[in-house]
Chains A and B, each alone.
Chain A
Amino acid sequence: MAFPVPAFAPDIIRQITEAVPQLTALGATVLRVEHRRTALRLDWREDLVGDPWSGLLHGGVITTLLDSASGMASLSSAGAVMQIATLDLRIDYLRPARPREAVIAEAECYHMTRSIAFVRGHAYHEDGTEIATSTAAFMLQSSALPAGTKP
């Protein structure tokens, strides 16, 4: 798939992500920012647990990671720093995240129009065990697209 805007700024996307208060609070860190593909990492913490009787992470933690990784993937595809907003997000929980293990959330923007970015994501443990998959659509602030861009 040809993407018309190859110029993207991984350092700026990294900076923007590292300044997100909810991600900082969760202790999430940026693993990778590539063109169209990004990844975040989160270490297990007791205060992020959704079910204290089993020690499982709250689904909302996975939601935040996948939403953020997907937003970053949209930004990295856009080739320009712009405001984006999640339009919709669906998450399938394949299996519970294992207690005390880190989670990686990875996302790929597989299609982009002038106004919408379509993103797939998944969350997994370091040994590759899949936890969740996601699909999302993001609204792009179209006025911020470079002049002459034809996605």
Chain B
Amino acid sequence: MIDLKSAIRDAKAKGEPGILSNAIPYARFNGIVLETGDDGLRCNMPYQPHLVGNPTVPSLHGGAIGALLESVIILHLLWETEPEAAPRTISMSFDFLRLARPVDTWARCIVERHGRRVVNARAEAWQDDRNKPITLARGNFLLP
């Protein structure tokens, strides 16, 4: 297995952020893909039946949305800073604003402060309407 830094540089050289998310087993498991959208880096999680948390409603699992939001922050940091090792999650906090319907979901990351040891970041997930986020997240990450 190539090291993290080489994986990031390979993805950048090919202009395909998806190569980086594809290197993360659990991102691959839930179909999370890092991509470049109109407004910068974001993650896409296309609908798949195994993402469902409540088959009666139906809705996506809060944990699947949580994984998407944590992933978009970590992938964003990897892409932007090319560290030797991945940042470690210290804490994550989620507000579930709207029902996560069984459709494609996107997420983006906003870095609030990039310190020497800790990064404070926010992330939001949305479905059809970019202006109506379904979940907001805030997280603190320890840098290697």
Contact = CB atoms under 8 A, between A and B. Distances in A.
Given A47-B29, A88-B93, A93-B90, A25 B24 contact: no
A35 to B, nearest CB: 22
Interface of B: 1, 3-4, 23-30, 49-57, 59-64, 66-68, 70-71, 74, 85-86, 88-96, 99
Q: Which secondary structure characterizes the binding site on chain B? A: mixed
Contact of B55 (A20, A46, A51, A88): A20
Contacts of B25: 46-50, 52, 58
A87 B86 CA distance: 29
Contact of B96 (A57, A65, A68, A87): A87
A12 interface: no
Contacts, number: 138
B114 to A, nearest CB: 19
Interface of A: 19-25, 46-54, 57-61, 63-68, 83, 85-93, 96
Contacts of A86: 62, 94, 96
Contacts of A51: 24, 86
Contact of B85 (A46, A48, A53, A92): A53
A96 B1 CA distance: 21
